[in-house]
Amino acid sequence: MQEQAAGDKGLIFNLQRFSIQDGPGIRTTVFFKGCPLRCPWCSNPESIRPHPEILSRDIKCIRCGKCVEVCDQKAANISAQPRIILRDKCDSCMACAEACPAHAIERTGEYKTVDEIIKVVLKDLSLYQRTGGGLTLSGGEPLMQAQFAASLLRPAKHANMHTALDTTGFAEWPALAEVLRHTDLVLYDLKQIDDLKHLQATGISNQLILKNLRRIMAETRVAVWIRIPVIPGFNDTEGDIRSICEFVQQLPRQPEKISLLPFHKFGAAKYIALGKIYPWNDAVLIPDQQMESFKRMVESCGFSADIGA
């Protein structure tokens, strides 16, 4: 898989302290930019492309014209209402984001060194120790920058910090294995067992993903939590959930738990800010009763289960 880091730097789009949903305890989550999957329901669409982008928050625009003045590509236009960013002309130079006094145009994606990130992570070391928390790498897909991910986890382990990897599992095994050497817990996304459905929805076959999960369970002792995003029309039937459970039952060892993550629309505004159409605007949320039914099914297959964790 192509490495997206620049020299000794990695491309991240968020560094979130006090996270409580990316592993045990209170954690700091580093969100890597770049993902090989193209899930249309993604709640972090700014994580997909492996390069910096601009987010345009038109509601903040004060129509000062600074973006027009600095844009050599003539991609900014304030003669329209609201202000328009012509994405086909934009070369992501970030001049408009730097010039905007109202922060109506923002940069998403920055190259950071290991030292820059670890300095922030270590601020909460005592909090991790009290709560059983630590550092989580998420995305996007951290394994697109596997060398940088391993370099980031290494000093965290030296500081006796719990480490977690939130991953799609789509990576060549040597890269994944190197990251796992410094990982205590893997949060493994498992979306669909049917390869054709997976390919049609995400643009990627699931064969490498399933193979890597088997190898993790057979060749390592890293703890694993399976995470199933439950998506309307994609994997929200009893047959879909049961097929995932049956696959997991055949693994060389069992995960500590299976988490069911109900579909939501929290990322809708980000699509607009990226100049994209949100494709799931009309999707109906999955009822709580149905999620509880799926949870009982997972438990009936012998697994510990929770919803939305």
Domain boundaries, given as residue ranges, for the chain: 9-50+109-307, 53-108
| pLDDT tens sequence for the chain (309 residues) | 444 444 589 999 999 999 999 999 999 999 999 999 999 999 999 999 999 999 998 889 899 999 999 999 998 888 877 788 888 899 889 999 999 999 999 999 999 999 999 999 999 999 999 999 999 999 999 999 999 999 999 999 999 999 999 999 999 999 999 999 999 999 999 999 999 999 999 999 999 999 999 999 999 999 999 999 999 999 999 999 999 999 999 999 999 999 999 999 999 999 999 999 998 888 999 999 999 999 999 999 999 999 985
CA 234, CA 288: separation in Å to the nearest integer? 17
53-108 has which CATH code? 3.30.70.20
First-to-final CA distance of the chain: 29
Cα within 13 Å of Cα(245), Cβ side: 22
CA 162, CA 157: separation in Å to the nearest integer? 7
Q: Are 139 and 35 in contact (CB under 8 A)?
A: yes
Can you give the pLDDT at residue 31? Answer: 98
Which CATH class name applies to 9-50+109-307?
A: alpha beta
Can you give the pLDDT at residue 147? Answer: 96
Can you give the pLDDT at residue 3? Answer: 44
Can you give the pLDDT at residue 309? Answer: 57
CA 108, CA 14: separation in Å to the nearest integer? 8
Can you give the pLDDT at residue 78? Answer: 84
Can you give the pLDDT at residue 170? Answer: 98
